Each structure stands twice: as C-alpha cells, then as structure tokens.
C-alpha cells in the first residue's frame, strides 16, 4: 500500500492569520521574506498580513511572482532573501507564490540550477532540508500549502515539477477570509483546480484508501454540497469559502496518491508563452476528455464519485463536469482558450514525460495524448 504522510501543521479557520506572530516565534523566524505578487500588495492583503507580525520582526517583501513562476523569479527572491539576512519565508498568495517560495527555499540550501532537482529525472532524491516556510493561501485551488511539490518554468523554457517531503511548508495558515475578495472567474478556475486534484487522486490506480477517502470527501464539499458554485456566485458566502478552502487542502492531501493525464496536458499547454493560460482553467477544460478516456478502467469509482458529487443517474461524470464548467462561466474547450490544432504536436512529448502521466488511471502513449487533445479541443 502506498504511504500517505501528513507532516505539517495546517490550520483552517476564519481568522487563522491571527496565529502568524506565534507561528514565527515557534519556528524561530525573526527576519521573514514574504513571497507574494503585486496584485496582493495593491489590494492591501500584504498590509493585512504585515499587521499580524510583531513590530520587532524585520519583514522583507518580494512581490515579483509572475502568473506562472519562473526560475529567474525564484533567483530574484533568493537574492533578496540573502541581501536582507532573512531566516525564513512566508508564502502568501495562490499556487504561483507558493511554488515560487518553495523554489526559493530549495535554492537557498542547494546549488543551482533548478533542473538538477527535476522530479521526472529522479532529482527529488537530491533535495535535503530547505529554508523554513509558512504558507498562507489566498485562493482555494492548488493545495500547495500542504503539498510537497512545485511547478516552475526553468530557464530552458520547460515547465517542470520539483517534489520532496522537505519542501512542505512547516505550518499552513488557511484563512478563508483572505479568499472573500476573489473575483468569480478566479474563484471558479482555482476551484476547478481543486476538483481536478480530487478526481484524479481518486482515479489513480495506486492503492491508498485514506487518500482516496479524503478525495471523495473533498468532492462532496466542493461539488456535492454546491460550495464551488456558491462561492463563485456570491464571493461573500463565508461558509462556502471555508468549505472550498478545506476541499482545496484535501485535494493536495489526496494527490499523494497520484494525479494523471489532466495535469500532464495542462502542464504541457502551460508552456505556450504567448497564451499564458491559467492552470486551473486548463484542468477544468481537459478533465471531461480524460474522464472519457479513463472510463473503462474506473469500475466502482465512477459510482462513488457520482454519489458524493450528487450527479444524477441520467448524467455521466464527464457531462457533469462540462455542465459545471458552463455554470461557472469557464471555457468549453481548448479552442476557446486560443489553442489551435497546429500547437497539439508540440504538447504531446512534454505531456508524455510529465511525472503525472505515470499515475493516470490507465496508460497513455503519444497516440493517446493526441486523441485526448483532439477531444479537449472541442
């Protein structure tokens, strides 16, 4: 049976950021670097966090996180950390800020370049202790606050996965209040990222009943109880925001069991620089095609997912996800996102070598990915 290990402290509650001062003290961090983005600076979220930090703590802010984190941005954060004598990191934001922070924490204790630690080539075995990190998510999607991995675009243009138990944040403060101001489309896209994590974890063929059970519970919270739709339609619904934050965290706990072809396809499509596509939206659009592809090997998992998601007997899972995407206002296919048929061949090889392909419900070869992309194109 696969091993599932939950090794960090994760607090999920309205007002959780009030624990930040004590958490810094607990970890012995006196000069933190906040890794975030300019958007959170502009809307005052960084000031909100700074107000929870004791005045005698010297705070440095790195706000250069791009929408899809890159190795040069990681190096910029490392330089700022070193130049200001920092001794720990606060990752504040969505998955991009979390992943950038993890990359910086890694390079602060390991030699460059990042590609040395590529999960696809066994680089995770080279990753030892990293700089201490506190994670404070401002979206409910990636679950990066409790996951062991980061997705970063390296200097050669590849979007790679870096993964090690050592990269998990020491403490995660998940405060749903920080997500109340998210606009509807970002709420929907990040929420579908969580739903994809949950479904792919359940579908993965690895044997891990605890992770699978967590995945099913997250699907019940996000979809079955309607919290994703509620949070999208009414951003001020505090209970829906809390339930989505729980579901997102559960998604990352569950995918200890594995992900699948949806993520391989999304990672490959995310390499197309001029489109700069959102990862969660890509997952939402690719998910129905992968559900159809995996259908014949899923057995009773189909009925179990349909039950917790409250999908009627008359509707298939792929149809349910397509209807959910439409309800949320997300694109119906990859073509609507700007991907054209001539781009498909260039995405197949990156998808094939993506580590998530190995844990898809059934094997996927080049022909399989070509068919999946054609299906997802609409």
Every domain of the chain and the residues it spans: 9-178, 182-377
Q: How far is CA 346 from CA 67, 98, 231, 274, in A?
A: 22, 28, 36, 14
* Residue 92: strand pairing partners: 136
Q: Which CATH number fits domain 182-377: 1.20.1090.10, 3.50.50.60, 3.60.20.10, 3.40.50.720?
A: 1.20.1090.10
Task: Please choose, from the candidates 224, 236, 172, the residue with its C-alpha nearest in 3D space to the C-alpha of residue 198.
Answer: 224
Per DSSP, the three-state class of 86 is coil
Would the CA dihedral through 275, 280, 284, 290 be positive or negative?
positive
DSSP per-residue letters across 292-318: HHHGGG-TTHHHHHHHHHT--TTS-HH
Half-sphere exposure of 283 (CA within 13 A, CB side): 23
- What predicted TM-score, i.e. pTM, was given to this entire model? 0.93
Q: How far is CA 246 from CA 82, 220, 253, 289, in A?
A: 34, 11, 11, 26
Residue with tokens 């990352």: 252
Whether 9-178 and 182-377 share one fold: the answer is: no
9-178 has which fold?
A: Rossmann fold (3.40.50)
The pLDDT tens digits along the chain (378 residues) read 344 446 688 999 999 999 999 999 999 999 999 999 999 999 999 999 999 999 999 999 999 999 889 999 999 999 999 999 999 999 999 999 999 999 999 999 999 999 999 998 999 999 999 999 999 999 999 999 999 999 999 998 888 889 999 999 999 999 999 999 899 999 999 999 999 999 999 999 999 999 999 999 999 999 999 999 999 999 999 999 999 999 999 999 999 899 999 999 999 999 898 898 999 999 999 999 999 999 999 999 999 999 999 999 999 999 999 999 999 999 999 999 999 999 999 999 999 999 999 999 999 999 999 999 999 999
Are 155 and 107 contacting, i.e. CB atoms less than 8 angstroms apart? no
């Amino acid at each position: 049976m696969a091993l599932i290990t939950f090794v960090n402290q994760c607090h999920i509650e309205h007002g959780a950021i009030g624990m930040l001062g004590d958490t810094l003290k607990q970890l012995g961090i006196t000069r933190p670097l906040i890794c975030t983005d300019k958007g959170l600076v502009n809307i005052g979220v960084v000031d909100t966090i700074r107000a929870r930090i004791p005045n005698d703590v010297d705070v440095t802010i790195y706000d250069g996180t791009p929408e899809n984190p890159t190795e040069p941005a990681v190096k910029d954060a490392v330089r700022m950390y070193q130049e200001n004598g920092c001794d720990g990191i606060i990752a504040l934001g969505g998955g991009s800020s979390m992943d950038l922070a993890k990359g910086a924490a890694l390079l602060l204790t390991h030699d460059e370049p990042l590609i040395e630690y590529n999960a696809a080539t066994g680089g995770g075995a080279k990753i030892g202790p990293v700089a201490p990190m506190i994670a404070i998510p401002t979206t409910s999607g990636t679950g990066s606050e409790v996951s062991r991995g980061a997705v970063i675009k390296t200097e050669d243009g590849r979007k790679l996965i870096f993964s090690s138990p050592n990269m998990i944040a020491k403490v995660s403060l998940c405060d749903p209040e920080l997500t109340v101001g998210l606009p509807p489309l970002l709420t929907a896209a990040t929420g579908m990222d969580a739903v994809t994590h949950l479904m792919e974890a359940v579908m993965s063929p690895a044997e891990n009943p605890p992770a699978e059970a967590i995945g099913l519970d997250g699907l019940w919270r996000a979809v079955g109880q309607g919290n994703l739709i509620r949070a999208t339609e009414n951003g001020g619904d505090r209970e829906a925001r809390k339930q989505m934050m729980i579901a997102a965290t559960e998604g990352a706990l569950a995918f200890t069991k594995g992900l699948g072809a949806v993520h391989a396809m999304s990672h490959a499509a995310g390499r197309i620089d001029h489109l700069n596509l959102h990862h969660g939206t890509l997952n939402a659009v690719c998910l129905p095609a992968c559900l159809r592809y995996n259908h014949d090997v899923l057995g009773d998992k189909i009925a179990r997912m349909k039950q917790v998601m409250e999908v009627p007997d008359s509707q298939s899972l792929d149809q349910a996800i397509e209807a959910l995407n439409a309800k949320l206002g997300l694109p119906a296919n990859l073509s609507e996102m700007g991907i054209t048929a001539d781009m498909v061949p260039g995405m197949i090889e990156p998808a094939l070598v993506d580590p998530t392909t190995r844990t898809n419900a059934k094997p996927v070869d080049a022909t399989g990915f070509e068919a999946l992309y054609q299906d997802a194109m609409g």
